[in-house]
A and B are shown apart, each in its own frame.
Chain A
Amino acid sequence: MVTERVQVAKDEAEVRAIRRVQSGESDMEILIGYILQVGVLLSVAFILLGIAWRWLATGAFTLEYSITGMNFFEFVLEDLRQVALGAFRPRLWVNLGIATLMLTPYVRVLASMIFFAVVERNWKYTLFTAFVFTVLTYSLFLR
């Protein structure tokens, strides 16, 4: 009798644990889904805004400039500096679009790493995502 009751309690605890893990995982799925969706939509919106502005201002669609001599983080900082100065122009919007697009998977990896570490407490996958995050950070510092 007693052992049976213990068994039932154990089973229930296990079911609760499984449910917690399952709901935790689906939370991560929703989080990742939104990061990707918002990132891509924002990026396309910024680029469209840049192209439209260019067209309204000059009658031409094409922007001619290049991104050279800087790594990704310098590129983002330079754009943010211009945003802070309020120096909005077509080129800045296109740059913000490209930067947002590149940040999207990067943020996704960062969010997964934090989720694995804090919510799921899964050290294996915290380590794996940390590796991916480190390699990506290194590669974004390339110039």
Chain B
Amino acid sequence: MSFFTVLLVSIVAGFVGAMGGMGGGVVLIPALTLIGVDIKQAIAISIVSAIATSSGSASAYVKDRITNLKVGMFLEMFTIVGALVGAAITLIAPRQPLFIVFGLVLLLTWYALFRQRNEQWRPVAHQDKLSHWLELEGSYYDQAADETLDYRGARAYFGGPMMFGAGVIAGLLGIGAGALKVLIHDLVMGLPPKVSTTTSNLIIGVTTLAGTSVYLAAGYVNPGLTAPVIVGVVGGAFLGTRLLVHLTNARVRVFFLVVLLILGVEMILRGIGGAG
């Protein structure tokens, strides 16, 4: 495969990923395997590029003070251990099940985004003792509503262990698993959607670093492929974010949901068909 094929695939992955409000991994890995990259190598390259996309967008959100640093740094303890476990499993796993699990996670992400469409955020009525002790609360200025929103996080005892699971998936499949993290923030911990997404971005940076270290040590990070992928994904995400401003939300979501569904089913079929 040529340099430009890889670059183009990465730009498209970063672009589509950004429009769906996530990193490029969910599009990048299926696309790389389609142009002939081994799935384990695709996972390793994708997880390196996820450090770039997540840190890039996290920098803006952190400065805007929407990200909740304490929630992020508490949950990171769980995701990094999960990512190490997940990456270690991938190193020894056969390839076909990886395709199937990847497809299933894409469908789960699809579901997570789908149900997110019509949900309204409700503030946490009662904060448990642990979450209070962990200082999981905050406020941020919501530009759209022109008001400062106060919120409290809850059920940290549940959110932490679930984040371990999200970390395993991130390390296993080389993706940020942002949609799953957002789902846990929303459903389990009761954080407002904007805080969920931006905090998940912060967490993804260290989670994917933990995963990357395992793949680097195993020699799976091929610099010749990684270089165009990082440049392409970051560039594509930059373009996607700029374009996103000009598009209606509903149309973007429908487009992204269709892409996810197709990729998810396709990966499962390839896993079953033995295309590993």
Question: B-contacting residues of A (Cβ < 8 Å)?
Answer: 25-26, 28-30, 32-37, 39-40, 43-44, 47-48, 50-51, 60-69, 71-72, 75, 91, 94-95, 97-98, 101-102, 104-106, 108-109, 112, 124-125, 128-129, 131-132, 135-136, 139-140, 142-143
Contact = CB atoms under 8 A, between A and B. Distances in A.
A88 B81 CA distance: 36
Given A40-B234, A94-B227, A104-B55, A135 B213 contact: no
Given A29-B69, A36-B62, A68-B219, A98 B226 contact: yes
B180 to A, nearest CB: 19
- What DSSP secondary structure best describes chain B's contact surface? helix
Given A72-B213, A142-B217, A37 B224 contact: no
22 contacts: A36-B56, A40-B52, A44-B230, A44-B234, A61-B4, A66-B222, A67-B223, A68-B219, A71-B216, A72-B216, A98-B230, A104-B205, A105-B51, A105-B209, A108-B55, A108-B206, A125-B135, A131-B77, A132-B80, A135-B77, A139-B84, A142-B213
Contacts of A143: 217
Contact of B230 (A47, A124, A140): A47
B106 to A, nearest CB: 25
Instruction: Give 4 nearest A-B pairs by CB, closest first.
Output: A33-B63, A36-B59, A68-B219, A105-B205
A64 B4 CA distance: 15
Contact of A43 (B52, B62, B84): B52
Contacts of B268: none
- Of A39, A65, A105, the most chain B CB neighbours within 10 A belong to A105
A111 to B, nearest CB: 11
B205 A128 contact: no
Interface string B52-74: 10011011101101010110011
Interface residues of B, number: 48
A135 B216 contact: no
A142 B211 CA distance: 11
A142 B212 CA distance: 11
A51 B226 CA distance: 11
A29 B63 contact: yes
B48 interface: yes
- Of B73, B223, B226, B234, the most chain A CB neighbours within 10 A belong to B223
A12 B65 CA distance: 25
Nearest to B205: A105
Nearest to B84: A139
A135 B80 contact: yes
Given A26-B65, A29-B65, A105-B55, 10 more contacts: A30-B63, A40-B55, A44-B52, A44-B234, A101-B51, A105-B208, A108-B206, A136-B209, A139-B213, A143-B217
B51 A104 contact: yes
